[in-house]
Amino acid sequence: MIDRQGSTQATGIRTYAGDSSGNAGNVIVNAGILDIVNGGEVSSSTLSQGQAGNVTVTAQQLKIDRQQNGYFTGITSQTTPNSNGNAGNVIVNADSLDIINGGEISNDTFSQGHAGNVNVTTQHLKIDSQGSEYLTGIVSQVNPNSSGDAGKVTVKTGSLDIVNGGEISSNTFSQGQAGSVDVTAQKLKIDMQASNRFTGISASAKEGSGNGGGVVVNADSLDIINGGAISGTTWTQGHAGNVNVTAQQLKIDGYGSSVSSSTNGKGDAGNVLVNSGSLDIVNGGEISSNTWDQGHGGTVNVIADYLKISNQEALYPTGILADAIRGSSGNAGNVIVKARSLEIGSAGQISSLAWSLGHGGNVNVTSNQLKIDGQNGNSNTGIFADAVNGIGNAGDVIVVADNLEIPTLAPRLIPLILNGCCLPW
């Protein structure tokens, strides 16, 4: 166990490059059971022009728990402010890994040096903030006033639960570039639960001018629920990265639950590609690329064998969306959907909407079997491209289906399949 126990002195296994040109040494830890808690750390840092070392930890059971301690708790290699050297790589191998309550596996830059890569391999991984005010998860980050780039984050696991404010991410808050994030799991659950913190997998440009990185997620089974998200976002002049998700079974359920790339700044959103055998988008869930500002939205491309979109409970949009939101000036992206079987019911939508100055995108849907049924829905149901407000133009709608079913008893006459018209209700 590595436990700071309230000490003001750093506690753990550490190397660092001090006020010289020499490099820090590598750190290698092998253990059966390893608990890093309460401000403990395994780390390598550079305070100078020397390079930080690589940090490698191998354990059968590994737990990282900050326990509300004010000090960093976890495994890291980093560059510190005013240093020139690069951080090393962080490699963690464990049969079972719990990162909870503000614990971190990280690789950050606070200077002009670059962060290293983070590589985590485990059979069972849980990331749970448990209400902590501190970031909890696996992260590579470009911090404010730094110019170095973040590293790539790679996670490979059998089962992965990211819950209650946990995250796997790479972010930039400065001119350096965020790194890419690559997650592979057999069974993956992302569940925000009662947290008010972002919960999920992301690569974002949050401040400065750097670009966000790409996100790639591969899973056999993937549940994104209760506001969990896989996202690439920009709030700056930097561009968001592309988001690519592949899953045999994928469910996106609940308001805020999403796979998305969006722009809230001058930079453009990335493209979103989702490929699934069975895909359910329900109750406020969405696959989207939206613009909220000057940047343009990206293309949303969904390929599925079986696709169902339904909104039984939520009052919010549910479906596959590419919108130019009110107050924005960028254009929305196109939406492309290909499915063997596609059912849109109860306020489900495949759409691109222009709410402001920017233009809406085109919507192209191809399916062998397509059913659109607005029964029991309290909002628009169907496939549409609209100019709702503002001066932007709507895009085109193209639907190709071998079999198209629109039940005659739908309560709003027929579900909407619109091309460039205003919403009638």
Name the domain boundary from 169, 204, 233.
233
Q: Which of 216, 233, 250 is the last residue of a domain?
A: 233
Q: Are residues 254 and 298 in the same domain?
A: yes
Residues 283 and 224 in one domain: no
- 222 and 367 belong to one structural domain: no
Cβ atoms within 10 Å of 197's Cβ, excluding its own = 16
Count of CB atoms situated within 10 Å of the CB of 127: 28
> Lowest-confidence range among 79-83, 279-283, 374-378?
374-378
Q: Work out the average pLDDT over 356-383.
A: 84
| Domain's final residue, options 197, 216, 233 | 233
| CA atoms of 11 and 283, how far apart (whole Å) | 47
Three-state SS for 60-124 is EEEEEECCCCCCCCEEEEEECCCCCCCCCCEEEEEEEEEEECCCEEEEEECCCCCCCCEEEEEEE
CB 321 within 8 A of CB 333: no
Least confident of 161-165, 243-247, 295-299, 355-359: 355-359
Can you tell me the mean pLDDT for 206-219? 87
pLDDT of residue 4: 93
**Mean per-residue pLDDT for 241-249?**
96
How much is the average pLDDT of 330-350?
Answer: 91
Region 56-78 average pLDDT? 95
pLDDT of 72 above 50: yes
Are 388 and 424 members of one domain? yes
Percentage of the residues of the chain whose pLDDT score is greater than 70: 94
424 and 310 belong to one structural domain:
yes
* Res. 172 pLDDT band, cuts 50 70 90: confident
409 band by pLDDT with thresholds 50, 70 and 90: very low
Take residue 128 and report the two structure tokens written for it.
Answer: 């749970």
Confidence of residue 23 (pLDDT cuts 50, 70, 90): confident
Q: Average pLDDT, whole number, for the chain?
A: 87
Domain range for 104: 1-233
Q: Looking at mean pLDDT, say which of 53-62, 231-240, 412-421 comes out highest.
A: 53-62
How do residues 104-148 score in pLDDT, each as one tens digit?
A: 999 988 877 788 899 999 999 999 999 999 999 999 988 788 777
Q: How many structural domains are present in the chain? A: 2
| pLDDT confidence band for 29 (50 / 70 / 90) | very high
Same domain, 50 and 133: yes
More confident residue, 172 or 417: 172
pLDDT grade for 333, boundaries at 50, 70 and 90: confident
More confident: 23 or 282: 282
How many CA atoms, within 13 angstroms, populate the side-chain half-sphere of residue 145? 6
**pLDDT higher than threshold 70 for residue 425:** no
Do 228 and 246 lie in a common domain? Answer: no
| Domain shared by 270 and 379, yes or no | yes
Contact residues for 53 (Cβ-Cβ < 8 A; gap 6+) = 15, 23, 24, 25, 26, 27, 44, 77, 88
Clarify whether residues 205 and 274 are in a common domain. no
User: Does residue 137 share a domain with residue 255?
Assistant: no
CA distances from 421 to 3, 59, 131, 386, 418 (A): 64, 60, 46, 6, 6
Predicted pLDDT at 377: 57
Q: What is the pLDDT of residue 285?
A: 96
How much is the pLDDT for 376? 66
- Predicted local distance difference test score (pLDDT) of residue 416: 45
Q: Are residues 91 and 199 in the same domain?
A: yes
Residues 66 and 39: beta-carbon distance below 8 Å: yes
Greater model confidence, 421 or 211: 211
Residue 234 has pLDDT above 50, yes or no: yes
Please check the confidence at residue 171 and state whether its pLDDT lies above 50.
yes
Does residue 3 sit in the same domain as residue 93? yes
